Amino acid sequence: MGLGLVWLAAASGLLALQPGLLGLPHVHPGVIALTHAWVLGFFVTVACGAVYQLAPVALGTTLWSERAGWWHLGLHGMGVPGMVAGFWTWNLPLLGAFGTLVAVGVFLFAVNAWVTVRRSRKTDPVAWSLILAPAWLVVTVLVGLLLAANRATFFIPADPVALLRAHAHLGLVGFFATLLQGVSFRLVPMFTLGEVPNWRPVKSGLWLTQAGLLGLAPALAFHWRAASALFAFVVVVSFAASGWGLARTLATRKKRALDPGLKFFLCGMAGLALAAVIGFVLALPTVPGGSAAGGFNAMVYGVVIVAGGLLPAIGGMMCKIVPFLVWMRAYGPKVGRGPTPPAGSLARPWLHRVGLTLQWIAVAPLVYGVWFLDIELLRAGAWLLAIGVGFLIADLVGVLRHLWRPLTAPAAPLRGVARTGVSP
């Protein structure tokens, strides 16, 4: 989580300093470097950290190997900066070397997740998402290394742009969508005191995503426009099924008021569903393809995914997960031996409320700026996003400081929350 916040600051800072990158074709080296700073640096890092902490809780078992997790963190921490630098300078040997470190780390992560699920003996959609999502991440990284090698020797007789789009969807749909379509149905009931009344739409959403991606990736790679649209529509239907299941789960909650973190998580999930619809429209045979900048193009799609979908979803859930994990580590062992602050008192809700709101507002000028190639709107959107990220980081760093500077006296209780114990 801490490394992810470093990457969040770096990625948002790079965009604020270079907003014109969003006005370039999406295959430009600078755009690819920025994309990997966001996706591989922030989103994947945080998602892997969340899996290490929450998968054992969701599965009712222990993590198979903490040592393998530390090795993954080290390899990932070394590999991702080298990859971003390799993309930025278009140094393919450097990219291949550091990409290999990332690939080894991702393989360790996947094995850790697989063995942990096997030890739990669970076969529900949450367990399957923890099997499938790491598998897709391994495939995504290996395909990425293959594409980097291909750019040096061109041994694959296919359009590099089409291959890049297939690679991107292996990660975005295969890893992130699969993970969210499973783990959300443990996290949301946990934080809202609800339950999943019917697992059928959850299962349908998860397996439709797998079926859609299995067809979408080769269709994108080989320019099969009709097939791309068909399988993109399957992915849209999968989001609809998962959304229906999530709505029914929220209807059972005992904690009626949703806090800012959960609200923005749900906004992010809605943003990802909107992005799926945009992707379907872009895949239609009647919509012009290509990688040119401006207009209704892949960059609009990418901005909605990153800033309108993944950022509020993962940022919002971090506002719930990080205080819980920090409280368990810093104050959990002290329960029953003295007063402890409620978990809800570690964060400052106004900070992440302001931060996430500014991030959400930034989506409009970013999309408009990308569509009409308006550098002033791009700059305004990028700085709004960076300021919002600053508020979010300030809140989460304030929570993390309890790990090395725990309170010696209980914090002031929240309104309506007891002075001892964990807040609901």
In a domain, 423, yes or no: no
Q: What is the CATH number of the domain that holds 317?
A: 1.20.210.10
Confidence of residue 418 (pLDDT cuts 50, 70, 90): very low
In a domain, 29, yes or no: yes
The residues, any chain, with a CB within 8 Å of residue 340's CB and separated by 6 or more, are 331, 334, 410, 420, 421
* pLDDT at residue 349, rounded to an integer: 87
In a domain, 143, yes or no: yes
In a domain, 61, yes or no: yes
Is residue 330 within 8 A of residue 406, CB to CB? The reply is: yes
pLDDT of residue 119 exceeding 90, the answer is: yes
Helix H or strand E encompassing 202: helix 200-221
* pLDDT at residue 420, rounded to an integer: 37
Residue range 395-411: mean pLDDT, rounded:
83
In a domain, 296, yes or no: yes
* pLDDT at residue 409, rounded to an integer: 57
Residue 15, helix vs strand vs coil? helix
> Rounded CA gap, 283 and 287, in Å?
7
* pLDDT at residue 417, rounded to an integer: 43
The two structure tokens encoding residue 284:
């239609």
* pLDDT at residue 424, rounded to an integer: 36
**Which pTM value belongs to this model?**
0.93
In a domain, 219, yes or no: yes
Confidence of residue 155 (pLDDT cuts 50, 70, 90): confident
Task: State which residues form the domain around 74.
Answer: 2-403
In a domain, 347, yes or no: yes
In a domain, 417, yes or no: no
Report the domain count for the chain. 1
At 229, which amino acid appears? Answer: A
Q: How far is CA 307 from CA 37, 268, 271, 374, in A?
A: 13, 9, 9, 18
Residue 293, helix vs strand vs coil? coil
Query: Running DSSP on this structure, what letter comes out for residue 94?
Result: H
What percent of the chain has a predicted confidence (pLDDT) above 90? 79
340-383 per-position pLDDT tens digit: 888 778 989 899 899 999 999 999 999 999 999 999 999 999 99
* pLDDT at residue 419, rounded to an integer: 38
Nearest 5°: phi and psi at 335?
-65, 130
pLDDT of residue 414 exceeding 80, the answer is: no
